[in-house]
Amino acid sequence: MTLSRRANEVPDLIRRLGSRRQAAVDAARARLAIVGARAVEALIEAIEGDNARVRSHAMLLLALIQDPRGREPLIAMLLDTDPKMRETAARCLARFPGRESLSALERLIRAETKIEVKVAAVEALVQQAVHGHEPALRPTLRILLDPAEDVRLRQSALALLPALKPAERREFLKRLKQDGSPEVASRAAELSEAAPEEDRDGATLRPLLDDLAANDYGVWNDAVHRLAARGASAVGPLVEQMVRRSHDPEYCTRAGMALRAPGPRKLKAVTEALETVEEPLPLQVLVEVIGASGEHRVVYGLKSLIDRIAASPTADGNGMDPMQRVRAKAHLELARIGSRVAIEDLRAALRDRDRRIEIEMLAAVERIGNPEEIFDLLRAHRYEDRFMKERIADVIRAIFKRERIRRNHPSFSALSPDSRRVLDSVLAPAAVRKAARRPRTRKS
C-alpha cells in the first residue's frame, strides 16, 4: 500500500515543478532529488512535455541524480527547437562525462547558432574536464587557445585553468596574457595575480558562499575554486550553508565540488561534519566527498553512518524513507573499496518489503555480492518494477560470472519453485531473454 502511494507521489511532484510558487518548486526538487533513480523514467517523460518550466526543472534533476538513463534524453534535447531548452540540456550534460556526451557537445559547438547555447556547451566541457574526464581537456584547450574562436567561448574555457596543475596553469597564463584579445589577456592577468591555491584577495567566506548560489556559471564556478582553496577552514561554513539550503540540491552539489579538494585536515573536518548533519541531501553530498577521497580508513567510517540510519528509520506517510538513498550511497562507497563490513545491513535492505531498493544498493551488491546475496536478490526480484527487475537480473548474472558459480550449485537446491523460475529466466541465454521480452502479436 505504501509503495503504491509512493509511486503516485512522483507524478504529483513533477507537476509541482511547474508551480509559480518558488517554495513549492524547491520542495518538489528536493524531494525528487532524494527519490533519485525511482523518479528518472517520469522525469524523462516530463522533458518531452509542453510545460517549459517543468521540462527545464526535469532536465536539471536528471543531471543531479546522474542516472545513466538520463544521458540519451538530454543529448536528444540538444536538438530541441527552443534555444533555452538546448542551453539547459548542454549544461546538464556536464554531469554525464563520457564519449557520447563529449561528442554531442562538440557537435553542438560546431553547429549551434545561438552564442548562449554554445557557451553552455563549453562550460559543460570545462566541468567534465575539471572532474577528471581527461578527453574533455583537448577540445576545451583548443577553444581557449584559438584566436579565431568567439571571445565569449574562450572566456568560458578560461574556467578550466584553476583545475590544471600549477606548472601547466602558469604556462598557459603566461601565454594568454599576451593574447590578441584584450578580454582574454585581461582575465589571464587577473588569474595570474590571484591564483586559486593562494586566494590572495582576502575576501571573507560570506560573499563566496552566496556566490555559490549564483545563476551565472562563471560566478559560482569561481566561488567553487576559491572555497576549495580555503582548505579545512571552509568546511564548517560550507556544511552550515548546505544544511540551511537543504531544499536546494543544486547548491548542495556545488558545495560538494568545493569540499572535494584534497587535504587531510579538510577530510577530517568533513568526517566530523558527517556525525552531526541530519538532513538527507547534505548527507548524500558528504558521503560522496568521502568516497571520492579514496582514503580507505575514512570510507570504512561510513559503517557508523549506516548503523545510525538503520537505528532511526524515518519513513513517511508515502512509504518513503528520505535517508534510504544516503544509506544506499554509503553502501556503494564501501563496496567501491571492496568492503563487506556492512553486508548484514545491505542484506536487510534487500529483504525489506516496506521500502523499495535503491539502485546504489544494487550497484554495491554487484561489486561485493556472493552466492548468499543471490537468495535475497531473487526474493526482491518478485516485488520490484520492470526496470529494477532488469537491474537485479544484471547483478545476479554479474555475481555468477565473477564468483564462477554454476546454476546447479548445491546451495540453490533449497530455492522455492518461484525463485527457481526467476533464476532460470535470469540465467537464460541473451537471445531467449530478448524473445521473452518481445511483445506478442495477436493472431487474426
Q: What is the predicted pLDDT for the residue at 164?
A: 82
**What average pLDDT score do residues 254-278 get?**
89
Q: How many of the other CB atoms lie within 10 Å of CB of 431? A: 8
Q: Which three cell numbers stand for residue 226?
A: 576559491
348: closest CA among 318, 320, 313, 322?
313
pLDDT at residue 431 greater than cutoff 70: no
Q: What is the predicted pLDDT for the residue at 442?
A: 52
CB-CB contact of 309 with 340 (8 Å): no
Q: Which three cell numbers stand for residue 183?
A: 578580454
Is the pTM above the cut of 0.85?
Answer: no
Q: What is the predicted pLDDT for the residue at 161?
A: 85
Task: Say how far apart CA 345 and CA 43 lie, in whole Å.
Answer: 30
Show Cβ contacts of residue 131 under 8 Å, excluding neighbours closer than 6 positions: 97, 257
pLDDT at residue 392 greater than cutoff 70: yes
Q: Of 183-187, 216-220, 227-231, which one has max mean pLDDT?
A: 183-187
pLDDT at residue 240 greater than cutoff 70: yes
Q: What is the predicted pLDDT for the residue at 70?
A: 95
Half-sphere exposure of 426 (CA within 13 A, CB side): 27
**What average pLDDT score do residues 345-354 get?**
90
pLDDT at residue 430 greater than cutoff 80: no
Q: What is the predicted pLDDT for the residue at 299?
A: 96
Task: Say how far apart CA 269 and CA 252 lie, in whole Å.
Answer: 17
Task: Say how far apart CA 117 and CA 48 lie, in whole Å.
Answer: 19
Q: How many of the other CB atoms lie within 10 Å of CB of 379? A: 17
Q: What is the predicted pLDDT for the residue at 435?
A: 64
Percentage of the chain lying above the pLDDT 90 cut: 59
**What average pLDDT score do residues 12-22 get?**
93
Q: What is the predicted pLDDT for the residue at 197?
A: 45
Show Cβ contacts of residue 331 under 8 Å, excluding neighbours closer than 6 positions: 306, 342, 345, 346, 349, 360, 361, 364
Task: Say how far apart CA 27 and CA 442 lie, in whole Å.
Answer: 46
Burial of 134 (0-12, 13-18, 19+ CB in 10 A): exposed
Give the sign of the dihedral formed by CA 356, CA 360, CA 362, CA 368.
Answer: negative
Dihedral of the alpha carbons of 391, 42, 336, 264, in degrees to the nearest 10: 180
Q: What is the predicted pLDDT for the residue at 201?
A: 44
**What average pLDDT score do residues 284-306 get?**
94
Q: How many of the other CB atoms lie within 10 Å of CB of 383? A: 12
CB-CB contact of 59 with 88 (8 Å): yes
Domain ranges of the chain: 374-444
Burial of 352 (0-12, 13-18, 19+ CB in 10 A): middle
17 DSSP 8-state letter? T
pLDDT at residue 84 greater than cutoff 70: yes
**What average pLDDT score do residues 61-77 get?**
94
Q: How many of the other CB atoms lie within 10 Å of CB of 226? A: 22
**What average pLDDT score do residues 294-306 get?**
94
Q: What is the predicted pLDDT for the residue at 290?
A: 95
Backbone phi, psi, residue 357, to 5°: -80, 135
Q: Of 116-125, 179-188, 321-330, which one has max mean pLDDT?
A: 116-125
